[in-house]
Amino acid sequence: MTTIMDIIRLLTETPLIFVSIAGLTWGILGGALPGISASITMALVLPFTYTMDPAQAIALLACVYIGAEYGGSIPAILIRTPGTNSSAATVIDGYELNRQGRAGEALGISLMSGVIGSLFGLAMLIMLTEPLSWLALAFTPASYFGLGILGLSVIASMSGGSLIKGLAAATVGLMIATVGTDPISGVTRFTFDIPDLLGGVEPVLVMVGLFALTELMSQSGSTNTTQLNQKIKIKLPSLAVMNRLKRSQFIGCVLGLFEGLTPGGGGSIAAFMSYNEAKRWSKTPHLFGKGSEEGVAAPEAANNTVASTALIPLLSFGIPSSNSTAVLLGGLLMHGLIPGPRLFEQSAQVIDSIYVGSFIAIIAQIGVGIIILPACIWLVNRPRPYRAGFIFALILSGIFTLNNSLFDLGIALALGLVGFLMRIAGFPVLPMILGVVLGHMVESSYRRSLVLSGGDHMIFLQDPIAVALLSIALIFVVFSLSREVRDARKTRIEEARS
Amino acid sequence: MTFIKSIGQAVLGLATLAIVSGANAQAEPLPYPNKVVTLVTHSSPGGGSDVFLREMTKYLGRYIDATFIVENVQGGSGGKAMARVASGPADGSVFYATTPTYIYTSLMSKPQSTYKDMDPLVNIFADSEVIYTRTDGPYKSLKDVIEHAKKERGRWGAANPASLERQAAEQLKRAAGVTPAIVTHEGGGDMMLNVLNGTLDIGIGEIQELRSQLDAGKITLLATFNPERITEKPDVPTVKELGYDVSLVKFRGLAGPKGVPDATKAVWDEAIKNLLADPEYKKAYTAEVLVPQLIGEKDYPAFINNFATSTEEFLKSTGAIK
């Protein structure tokens, strides 16, 4: 036993710099594997941290999170499959750029936007953790309802042409979100006496099914193989490009900050919202969806910001705002560290190593990202049947690892088929995913508010945060509707002319 | 990825082995028919039962001559873990970590295997369930809270919809003859926020989840649902003392497949008694405010059945089951 103990000690008592870079590398690889989300990547490494020094263990987990948020964009751009939930928004323009033969540029933009987002997030984490912890406290159930509605209000602009089809898809998503145990009364709904459905349909299954499996199915049907056999070189964006992207990156950083602070959201909502906002404020909104650099920069800056700012409510209140921070919370508790106001006084060393470790990982990300990219590109350039088979196996094993459940595999495969049929019929899948992700939060916070108020809807107008969020949502809806109408009219006029 | 996970589990197993065998055994461990014993929990790594089992396995090897492995079988609110154990070999090599959750799931969602398909083995701990409020709020005692609920609409929080905390809240409401809104949440952290920001008058939860805020002085305990006062918090009265006949025990123990030999059960009775007296382990669990509550193999089945019966009545009265 002594030798094993010695080996474990040797492996774990290495300096923080090694721990950070190891965490980052594992994070990028895990994030890059479709179906393996940031939280799964972190959960997989969790057992290895049992015997580590608590400060290093927590720093390692934080660095895995950072790496996974960047890693997720690699398959999003290269094979139209988000590696993590929060890189789903990157698929839209990232993959489009890849089709135009600009995959290298897209990857470079994703990498640099991620670094900027991470640095911004870390700065915010260090500066705001203690002062801003009141924000988490100010959120009542009514405010959460406002937040959920704000998230849903972007559906209109994600429907890609047909608002009706988008709303239909979103409704199906909301319906899927009602499966499981009722969040307020505890009554089971639509579970058909199947115990596996008690916890509901996990959003990750919907995302993997609708994005990844659907894509594999469509790819298998297409005979066009030329686009993937090109030699892709990573191209870091020039200063001029970075200058052009600064507005979208700024939007990503700010929304990432808010999303990280407010529990319930996580990186995916921040990424979608910043994509939407970047489009709204862009000088070239017509490029979005057709290969816009900004469409990659904004969500990637946002999800990397969340990887740091999500630690703010976690460390100051012990409230995990995403699945990944829930894993991190598990890691903290495992080492006897209880997050909360006193963590900063009692375990300053842990806090310091999170800050220092994250900084090392962010800087190393540029180097490690470049070193790992060719490996990923090599993978993408393998013959399609091999690659598709490999990805299929990876996705399925990733889903299985989630709960060791064959039932989950069935759900994901069924949703893959649904997504394939939706694509044929021209229904967008993004609104459906948003419905599943947000439906639960909207429903439970709505009903919880009404329990509090005794059924009086005025509670939503008495809460200042709820009022602010609902007003912004209303503005979003009005703006995107008017844009929809304007665009439709323009297209009709153009069609009439031609 | 299952491959990587199994490596993880192997490393974890080795690490546990190292810790177990590296520790100084105070007494000779009792002989046991199996070399490896798997303890199954429905909780995720880092969750309540997971931490309880992993902490316990560090010391258990001193009293039972076997290696203990913790297996997380998540999903179906415990339904899968129960099926895994109920269909496992009844030779003492696999046990399930019991909590009230397994009764709730059995009653509410007709899983493949229920608590009835397992033999309760031994109870080890009871978690302390408490009523808390924010320190700078208007309530200084449980009486203030009840008085407020008589005059206006009270707002009480429970961590989960189908949980012991909800049951406690409903029972207290009935015993005190008041009609507050009982607001259920998704976990204790969620509820803590609403107590801290004044949305709720009180919250009902496990003391372990409150420690950080309690240490920081942000919240105050008003009462405990434990049958007796908590040793570490002697100033906190029990709900029963305050005149409301409600008390409950959030148990933590083990259950096995049906038909575990009596000789094997006897080993556990003896070992858990010694384990709870282990000074090092005692220090660890006292810090977690876990109250040792040894219920041996003879009495544990009756205890579980009683609990299930009263829970079933409660669930029927709220309309959660028919």
In chain B, which residue's Cα lies nearest the Cα of A396?
B1
What three-state secondary structure class fits B182?
Answer: strand
In this structure, the dihedral spanned by the alpha carbons of residues B197, B202, B205 and B210, taken in order and rounded to 10 degrees, is: 50
Q: Could you please report the per-residue DSSP string of A87-132?
A: GHHHHHHHHHHHHTT-HHHHHHHHHHHHHHHHHHHHHHHHHHTTTT
> Which of A81-85, B200-204, B236-240, B257-261 is the least confident region?
A81-85
Whether A227 has a pLDDT exceeding 70, the answer reads no
Tell me, what's the pLDDT at B144?
Answer: 94
Say if the Cβ atoms of B105 and A43 lie within 8 Å. no
The predicted structure's pLDDT at residue B27: 60
Distance CA B213, CA A34 (A): 39
Q: Are B22 and B61 in contact (CB under 8 A)?
A: no
**pLDDT at A133 (0 to 100):** 59
* pLDDT tens digits along B92-151: 999 999 999 889 888 877 777 889 999 999 999 988 889 999 999 999 999 999 999 999
| Stronger pLDDT, B37 or B47, i.e. the higher one | B37
Residues of A with Cβ-Cβ distance to B47 under 8 angstroms? 330
pLDDT of residue B20: 45
Put simply, whether A50 touches B (Cβ < 8 Å) is yes
Evaluate the CA torsion angle B138, B144, B148, B149 in order and state its sign: positive
Judged by CB atoms closer than 8 Å, whether chains meet at B183 and A452 is answered as: yes
Helix (H) or strand (E) holding A243: helix A239-261
Residue A190 has pLDDT above 60, yes or no: yes
The kind and range of the H/E element at B3 are helix B2-22
Would you say residue B14 has pLDDT above 60?
Answer: no
> Which has more confidence, A318 or A278?
A278
Would you state the structure tokens that stand for residue A240, as one six-digit string? 């001029």
Q: With an 8 Å Cβ cutoff, are B1 and A397 in contact?
A: yes
| Domain residue extents for chain B | 8-127+251-318, 129-224
* Burial grade of B33 (CB within 10 A; 0-12, 13-18, 19 or more): middle
Nearest by CB: A195 against B11, B112, B320: B112
A474 touches chain B (CB under 8 A): no
Residue numbers in A near B320 (CB within 8 A)? 185-187
Are A445 and A235 within 8 A, CB to CB?
Answer: no
Q: What is the least distance, in Å, from the CA of A398 to any CA of chain B?
A: 6
Nearest to A400 among B2, B18, B46 (CB): B2
Q: How many percent of chain B have pLDDT more than 70? A: 90
For the purposes of burial, counting CB atoms within 10 Å of the CB of B181, is it exposed (0-12), middle (13-18) or buried (19 or more)? buried
pLDDT tens for A8-30 read 444 455 578 888 899 998 888 88
**ipTM given for this complex:** 0.73
Report domain extents, chain A.
4-497
Q: Percent of chain A beyond pLDDT 90?
A: 18
Give the pLDDT band (50/70/90) at residue A376: low
- Chain B residue closest in CA terms to A195: B76
Q: Tell me, what's the pLDDT at A5? A: 52
The whole-number average pLDDT for the span A95-108 is: 86
pLDDT band at A3 (very low <50, low <70, confident <90, very high): very low
Task: Please tell me the distance from the alpha carbon of residue B4 to that of residue A479, in angstroms, as a whole number.
Answer: 48
B40: closest CA of chain A, how far (Å): 14
Residue A458 forms contact with B (CB below 8 Å): no
pLDDT at residue B272 tops 80: yes
DSSP A262: S
Q: Do B15 and A8 touch (CB under 8 A)?
A: yes
**Cβ neighbours of A181 in B, within 8 Å:** 77, 161-162
Q: In the numeric block, which tokens belong to residue A326?
A: 């829930």
Looking at residue A121, its pLDDT comes to: 92
- Asked if the Cβ–Cβ distance from A186 to B47 is below 8 Å, we say no
pLDDT score at B25: 44
C-alpha span between B180 and B288 (Å, rounded): 31
Contacts of B165 (CB under 8 A, 6+ apart): B129, B158, B159, B204, B205
Contact assignment for A185 to B183 by CB distance below 8 Å = no
Q: How far apart are CA B96 and CA B69, in angstroms?
A: 12
Does domain B129-224 fall under CATH 3.40.190.10? My reply is yes
Burial (CB < 10 A; 0-12, 13-18, 19+), residue B35, is exposed
* More confident call, A44 vs A423: A423
Closest-approach residue (CA) in chain B for A463: B199
Angstroms from A405 CA to nearest CA on chain B: 8
Note the helical H segments in A335-463.
343-346, 348-380, 384-403, 406-425, 430-453, 459-462
- Mark residue A192 as left, alpha or beta (left: phi above 0; alpha: psi -120 to 50; beta: remaining): left
pLDDT at A134 over 60: yes
Residues of chain B in contact with residue A188, where contact means CB-CB under 8 angstroms, are 108-109
Q: Are B8-127+251-318 and B129-224 equal in CATH topology?
A: yes
Residue from A58, A134, A193, A342 to probe the interface with B (highest B Cβ count within 10 Å): A342
In this model, does residue B24 exceed pLDDT 50?
A: no
Query: B4, A44: Cβ pair inside 8 Å?
Result: yes
Do residues B61 and B68 lie in contact, with contact meaning Cβ atoms separated by under 8 Å? yes
Does the domain at B8-127+251-318 match CATH 3.40.50.1820? Answer given as no
pLDDT mean across residues, chain A: 80
